[in-house]
Amino acid sequence: MDSLTQIVLGAAVGEAVLGRKVGNKAMLYGAIAGTIPDLDTFASYFTDTITSIEIHRGFSHSIVFAVLAAPVLGYLISKIEKKSVAGWKDWAWLMFWGLFTHPILDSFTTWGTQFFWPLDIRLAFKSIFVIDPLYTLPFLVFLIIAMRKKKTNPNRKKYNRMGLLISCGYLVLGLIFKGIAYNNFTESLERQGIFYERIDTRPSPLNTILWTANVEVENDFLIGYYSFFDEAMIRFEAVPKNHQYLGSLKNDKNVQRLIKISKGWYTISEKDGFLYFNDLRFGKLNPSDENSGFAFSYKLIPDDGTVRAEEVSKRPEDGKQILKDLWERIKGTSASE
């Protein structure tokens, strides 16, 4: 999830663990704990694109990291907060839960986490977008209300708990919505007589009302969108795999790493003499535009006998139009369309 959401979660968890003893400092250190796992993003400044992708949400998002880092961080905090009634074990327990709940929340997103590192298993329920205001804002409101209460005020615990319960409830609701969307996608494929090898579903940006599916058939990937307000049958857009464009490059170690990262959900496109590796797991930038590019696309650049990947940058100026089109699509399609 985005940084603000993880800060809110970490602060709420810190309050639940130690708020009655240390007040708002529990929220402060909980927020810090909720931020620490995402420091792995700094790897992009020191490594190549593919390596930074592999590192992200790896070791720092594992239960192993939480167990190892919590005592160390707890000890450091105890030295900073020497006058606190909380000891290093209390701070270590707070840090553990802050570090532990961060990857649990991230596991509900499309990217997922290597929660069981070093096992090569990425936990990804794909039931919430990485930024979802309906999850974050109510959670933030209850946290602020709790923060304004004295640590001995019973309502402080009550409001913090309400925020945690509502946020957890939203995650459960997302799983239910995912199941409903999945059934609608598979039923639509069956009605249209489309035979497929596998299907992958996830919510579209900023909401859990509009869902998208990637469907693998023999030579193409089909991309479909379903809103709970739709009246028309789901339409699927065919996107050619074009894996043959890779030729001998398919055996290149870096291309193989990208294929592994994408779980095989990728297409190849060509532009200006360069090949582009498009990761389909995160969909298109604009679900309403069939000509839209993909959210994650990598330019394959020959480099000293191998291939170097360079992520295609996104244009900020397109954001306003994308949000407008997304809102229109969320409102659904009529039966006449």
Q: pTM for this structure?
A: 0.92
Average pLDDT, stretch 197-221? 95
| Least confident among 146-150, 199-203, 288-292 | 288-292
Per-residue pLDDT band at 311 (split at 50, 70, 90):
very high
pLDDT at residue 326, rounded to an integer = 86
Residues pairing with 240 in the sheet: 220
Long-range contacts made by residues 131-135, C-beta under 8 angstroms, separation at least 24?
Answer: 131/1, 131/2, 131/5, 131/205, 131/206, 132/1, 132/5, 132/203, 132/206, 132/207, 132/208, 133/206, 134/170, 134/207, 134/208, 135/1, 135/5, 135/167, 135/170, 135/171
CA–CA dist 213, 224 (Å, integer): 5
Q: Please say whether the beta carbons of 25 and 151 come within 8 A.
A: no
**pLDDT in the model for residue 316:** 65
